[in-house]
């Protein structure tokens, strides 16, 4: 069965470049979450979608971070003018309805900014 | 959502031994979830225990919840090398939707 997939799995960017990270959630899952995980830390919440609506973006660290889910399925996390501190693993998760239910995580995209 | 605090930060045991890790949180919850993360399978949901439950089992996993002490424990029995991973708890408050807030986790090393 298809789980959550993310692409690319690894991305190396030069400082100042823009990057786009893709997440394909489990089919039929209403809720989609993005998390950022720095080395040695637990994942930290970035943003949440319910279908195509972005209901919470309180975790986005700066206005260089932008996420969308235009058709309520695939989501893209875009980081503009990347900085070294953006280097992390970006995890996407989906859940059936988001109401206090379990989340299914993708493998993550490891972003390294040089 | 609130963050859970896992304890200990690191745990090293031999295969066949049991491993116990604890989680503490601050305010009332709807449920509490445990996740495991290793390099092979990424971050995986293990078990969810609701606030009106005191104990739950899943295979070799046993989770307890004490809402009066605002704490939970995860017991892994007869551990295997494949259990080597970081374990995170995520307390979920009453809310319309639930984002997970993770602590630093417990890093478990199971040696053959």
B81 by DSSP, 3-state: which?
helix
For residue B48, which residues of chain A lie inside 8 Å, CB to CB?
101-102
Q: Which domain holds residue B23?
A: 5-94+101-111
* pLDDT band, very low/low/confident/very high, at B1 (cuts 50, 70, 90): low
The reply to whether residue B45 touches residue A48, judged by beta carbons under 8 angstroms, is no
- Comparing alpha-carbon positions, the chain A residue that sits nearest to B5 is A42
CATH class of A5-113: mainly beta
The reply to whether residue B100 touches residue A43, judged by beta carbons under 8 angstroms, is yes
* pLDDT band, very low/low/confident/very high, at A22 (cuts 50, 70, 90): very high
For residue B45, which residues of chain A lie inside 8 Å, CB to CB?
102-105
Residue boundaries of the structural domains of chain A: 5-113
| Per-residue model confidence as pLDDT tens digits over A65-109 | 999 999 999 999 999 999 999 999 999 999 988 666 889 999 999
| Per-residue model confidence as pLDDT tens digits over A11-21 | 999 999 999 99
Which residue in B2, B1, B6 sits closest to B86, CA to CA? Answer: B6
Do the beta carbons of residue A29 and residue A50 sit within 8 Å?
no
**Which one of B45, B98, B101 has the shortest CB-CB distance to A99?**
B98
Which residue in A47, A29, A44, A28 sits closest to A95, CA to CA? Answer: A29
pLDDT for A70 equals 96
Residue B41 has pLDDT above 80, yes or no: no
pLDDT for A101 equals 80
For chain B, how many structural domains are there in total? Answer: 1
CA–CA separation, B49 and A47 (whole Å): 25
CA–CA separation, B47 and B94 (whole Å): 18
* pLDDT band, very low/low/confident/very high, at B95 (cuts 50, 70, 90): low
pLDDT for A1 equals 55
CA–CA separation, A6 and B24 (whole Å): 32
B31/chain A closest Cα distance in angstroms: 7
* pLDDT band, very low/low/confident/very high, at B40 (cuts 50, 70, 90): confident
* pLDDT band, very low/low/confident/very high, at A30 (cuts 50, 70, 90): very high
* pLDDT band, very low/low/confident/very high, at A43 (cuts 50, 70, 90): very high
Residue A53 has pLDDT above 70, yes or no: yes
B92/chain A closest Cα distance in angstroms: 6
CATH number reported for the structural domain that contains residue B11 in this entry: 2.60.40.10
B18/chain A closest Cα distance in angstroms: 24
């Amino acid at each position: 069965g298809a789980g959550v997939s993310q692409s690319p799995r690894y991305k190396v960017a030069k400082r100042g470049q823009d990057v786009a990270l893709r997440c394909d959630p489990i089919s039929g899952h209403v809720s989609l979450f993005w998390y950022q995980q720095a080395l040695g830390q637990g994942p930290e919440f970035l943003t949440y979608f319910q279908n195509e609506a972005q209901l919470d973006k309180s975790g986005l660290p700066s206005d260089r971070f932008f996420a969308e889910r235009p058709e309520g399925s695939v989501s893209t996390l875009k980081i503009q003018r990347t900085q070294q501190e953006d280097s992390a693993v970006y995890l996407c998760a989906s859940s059936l309805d988001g109401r206090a239910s379990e989340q299914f995580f993708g493998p993550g995209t490891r972003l390294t900014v040089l | 959502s609130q963050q859970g605090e896992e304890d200990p930060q690191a745990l090293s045991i031999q295969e066949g031994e049991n491993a116990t890790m604890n989680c503490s949180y601050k305010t009332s919850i709807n449920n509490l979830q445990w996740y495991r993360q290793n390099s092979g399978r990424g971050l995986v949901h293990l078990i969810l225990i609701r606030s009106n439950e005191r104990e739950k089992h899943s295979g070799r996993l046993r989770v307890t919840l004490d809402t009066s002490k605002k704490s939970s424990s995860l017991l892994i029995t007869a551990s295997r090398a494949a259990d080597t991973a970081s374990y995170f708890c995520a307390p979920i408050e009453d809310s319309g939707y639930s984002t997970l807030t993770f602590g630093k986790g417990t890093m478990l090393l199971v040696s053959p």
